[in-house]
């Protein structure tokens, strides 16, 4: 692509969704873009950046031809709408004054902004990581079905499906969903699951893993890691009911490792309600650069995604990260393509119901897989490398931008 590109996200720069789910792809896109890439992030108060940190980020990214644009996040509502009037004017001016030739959006909320900018500037739009957002909020009870928030976001999803000149989705089923729900016309449609940059993954030897486990009192434990928040699109109380079932299966050898931004007091409250001993859990909210070290200390992982109908068309980067660490995953049925892959390739356990009997079956399945841990971890890592490698993104971005 000759010229500059504007990339829109709806996340804070320090958010893992930018660090692991956006920036690696932006760096791939830069190889097919002759100009600068302006990367827009929405900075939330819980993930603050000081003036010095912002300056350092700008300096570092400038060497890669990437220009960060930090905007202030506001929760969905009237105040956010008013604030976005000023943000849109700023972004509109950036597009028209800086030689921006295209707009690339990440997920639907940022896609709303992309549609408005594309319409007012005439610049072509690409929708990346396109998946349902409005319907999952209703299906999990977060929004009422006829509420303003749902109707607004769903309408913008449809506008995005029509406005974008190319769609990059996460699952094969999203194409049929878009045709049915949004009456999306025919256009270039690509499938890109959550990928991992294996070249930048930290490497840990068996000795380092053992030393880390010993340092944190995990050396003789069966460790289950869960990275991410609880509630909303993710199970909450059921997480600890699953842990309690694991404690029944493995006894005191079982240990839950929660790498979560959810307040620790809330996690302990949920554990107590499930009669899961606090002594058998470790809670940490660690910088993303340290997450893989903690994941590698585990024996298996639990992803608490709720299997609401529309989640079949989205995916979670956590599964790719777990597999990159060689971890078998416990996951509910009908989550993207991943539930089927877990069952097909013996890479964990799939839960058809969130109840104790099913949890016990999953624990037994994981226990049987862990009889040969080195062979298991090697096999899963190889699967991840073949199917979730960042190199796969090159084909998509090359096709969209190299000859544009």
Query: What's the pLDDT tens digit per position in 93-117?
Result: 999 999 999 999 998 889 999 999 9
Alpha-carbon distance 366 to 376, whole Å? 11
Greater confidence, 243 or 306? 243
Query: Which three-class secondary structure state does DSSP give residue 59?
Result: helix
Residue 187 neighbours by CB distance under 10 Å = 13
Please provide the CATH number assigned to the domain covering 4-195+390-402. 3.40.50.2000
Q: What is the pLDDT at residue 212? A: 95
* Range of lowest pLDDT (68-72, 111-115, 130-134, 382-386): 130-134
Torsion of CA 287, 292, 293, 299, to 10 degrees: 130
Alpha-carbon distance 207 to 62, whole Å? 38
* Range of lowest pLDDT (212-226, 285-299, 337-351, 374-388): 285-299
Greater confidence, 160 or 75? 160
Alpha-carbon distance 250 to 156, whole Å? 48
- Output phi, psi for 5, to 5 deg: -130, 135
CATH architecture of 198-387: 3-Layer(aba) Sandwich (3.40)
Over residues 136-147, the pLDDT tens digits come to 888 888 899 989
137 to 132, 147, 212, 262, 308: CA distances (angstroms) = 9, 11, 39, 19, 9
Contacts of 5 (CB under 8 A, 6+ apart): 29, 33, 35, 36, 37, 38, 100, 101, 102, 103, 104, 401
Greater confidence, 201 or 52? 52
* 79 pLDDT tier (thresholds 50, 70, 90): low
* Range of lowest pLDDT (84-93, 194-203, 289-298): 194-203
Identify the CA nearest to 216 among candidates 290, 321, 324: 290
C-beta separation of 315 from 131 below 8 A = yes
Contacts of 169 (CB under 8 A, 6+ apart): 129, 130, 131, 175, 178, 189, 190, 191, 192, 313
Residues of the chain with CATH 3.40.50.2000: 4-195+390-402, 198-387
């Amino acid at each position: 692509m000759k010229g500059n590109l504007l990339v829109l996200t709806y996340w804070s720069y320090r958010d893992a969704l930018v660090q692991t789910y956006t920036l690696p792809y932006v760096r791939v896109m830069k190889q097919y873009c002759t100009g600068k890439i302006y990367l827009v992030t929405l900075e939330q108060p819980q993930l603050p950046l000081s003036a010095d940190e912002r300056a350092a980020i700008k300096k570092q990214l400038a060497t890669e031809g990437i220009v960060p644009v930090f905007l202030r996040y506001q929760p969905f509502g009237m105040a956010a709408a008013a604030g976005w009037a000023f943000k849109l004017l700023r972004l509109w001016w950036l597009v028209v004054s800086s030689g921006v030739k295209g707009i690339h959006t990440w997920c639907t909320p940022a896609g709303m902004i992309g549609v408005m900018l594309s319409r007012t500037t005439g610049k072509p739009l690409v929708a990346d990581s396109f998946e349902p957002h409005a319907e999952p909020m209703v299906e999990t009870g977060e929004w009422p079905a006829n509420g303003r928030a749902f109707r607004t976001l769903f309408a913008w999803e449809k506008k995005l499906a029509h406005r974008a000149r190319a769609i990059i989705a996460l699952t094969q089923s999203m194409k049929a969903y878009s045709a049915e729900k949004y009456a999306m016309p025919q256009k270039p449609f690509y499938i890109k699951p959550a990928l991992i940059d294996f070249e930048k993954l930290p490497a840990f030897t068996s000795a380092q893993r053992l030393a880390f486990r010993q340092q944190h009192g995990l050396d003789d434990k069966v460790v289950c890691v869960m990275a991410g928040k609880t509630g909303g699109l993710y199970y909450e109380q059921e997480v600890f009911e699953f842990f309690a079932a694991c404690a029944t299966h493995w006894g005191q050898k079982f240990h839950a490792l929660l790498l979560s931004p959810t307040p620790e007091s809330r996690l302990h409250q949920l554990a107590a309600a499930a009669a899961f001993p606090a002594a058998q859990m470790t809670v940490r909210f660690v910088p993303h650069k340290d997450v893989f070290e903690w994941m590698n200390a585990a024996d298996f992982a639990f992803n608490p995604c709720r299997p609401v109908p529309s989640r079949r068309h989205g995916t979670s980067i956590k599964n790719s990260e777990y597999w990159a660490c060689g971890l078998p995953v416990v996951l509910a049925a009908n989550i993207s393509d991943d539930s089927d892959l877990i069952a097909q390739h013996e890479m964990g356990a799939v839960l058809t119901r969130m109840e104790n009997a099913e949890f016990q079956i999953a624990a037994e399945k994981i226990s049987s897989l862990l009889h040969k841990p080195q062979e298991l971890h090697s096999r899963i890592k190889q699967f991840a490398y073949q199917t979730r490698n960042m190199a796969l993104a090159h084909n998509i971005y090359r096709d969209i931008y190299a000859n544009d």
